[in-house]
Amino acid sequence: MNDDQMTQEIEAARAYEALFVSSLFRQWPSRLLDKARVASGDRVLDVACGTGVLAREALTRVAPSGLVVGLDAMAGMLEVARELAPGVVWRQGDAQRLPFEAEAFDAVLSQFGLMFFPDKPAALREMHRVLVPSGRLAVAVFDGLDRNATFAREVALLERIAGEAAAEALRAPFVLGDAEALARMAREAGMEAVEVTTLTGTADFPGIGDLLEADLRVWLPFMGVSLDEATIQEVLARAQEELADVIDPRGRAVFEVSVHLLIGRRG
């Protein structure tokens, strides 16, 4: 990776932290940590940590004697994560081939990352491998688009104006909506006491434009889809009309999101 590419990754990571973390992802770490019963002294791995919102909260729970490791494939995400939490051990690596010895962690967590791994069963097998006996797993993924109506409307709008490739990139976070299939995948990876709970959260973006700008200018390029400025402006204009019903009295875009929480343990 050259310097320009690294700069672009860091800028994208800062935008992700500033908008997506504050508006959507910050509400989930406490739920995962509670389900995984993370406590002082635990060794915790956060897989696909991004800028580290989950790892940062885990660090407060395992102190003073525990360890938190955050792993992500993107160097830019990890650079921002290091700035925000130098007390976490940050590692670049592949979730499908975790660079850790077997039975290295008391708890393995992952927040909104599993959906994007090319080999999801392999990633779950790796999470199982690095857990100690009776170690705990907690993984959050989005429910399907049929249970996330506002995002489904955004996808439909994008498909109509920008085409199928852009719409597919926006569908990607919602591919694990089948709770039974998710639980089965975890069991086949070796996990025991597997449960999938569907939870409701709240997306709270500064406005419709902020939500769409983040997806169009940060998420789509990350997924390999770049739109021309005229198309971006057309999508933004239409979204202000078609998604106006999610604007609250403060002018913020607020709507429900449905999420699956997968828990299990190593036998």
- Residue 15: the pLDDT is 87
pLDDT tens digits, 110-140: 999 999 999 999 999 999 999 999 999 999 9
The full set of domain ranges for the chain reads 1-142+176-200+256-267, 145-172+207-251
Overall size of the chain counted in residues = 267
- Residue 60: the pLDDT is 97
pLDDT tens digits, 5-50: 888 889 889 988 998 999 999 999 999 999 999 999 999 999 999 9
**Per-residue pLDDT at 1 exceeds 80:** no
What is the C-alpha separation between 2 and 6, in angstroms, rounded?
Answer: 6
Homologous superfamily of 1-142+176-200+256-267 in CATH? Answer: Vaccinia Virus protein VP39 (3.40.50.150)
- Residues paired with residue 138 on neighbouring β-strands, in sequence order: 109, 263
Q: From the CB of residue 238, how many other CB atoms can be counted at a distance below 10 Å?
A: 15
pLDDT tens digits, 229-239: 999 999 999 99
∠ CA(193), CA(108), CA(85), 5° rounding? 150
- Residue 63: the pLDDT is 95
Q: Which residues, 6 or more positions from 6, have their beta carbon under 8 angstroms from its beta carbon? A: 75, 76, 79
What is the C-alpha separation between 155 and 19, in angstroms, rounded?
Answer: 19
pLDDT tens digits, 153-189: 999 999 999 999 999 999 999 999 999 999 999 999 9
- Residue 221: the pLDDT is 86
Do the Cβ atoms of 88 and 56 come closer than 8 Å?
yes
Q: What percent of the chain has pLDDT over 70?
A: 100
Model confidence at 2, in pLDDT bands (50, 70, 90)? confident
Do the Cβ atoms of 112 and 106 come closer than 8 Å?
no
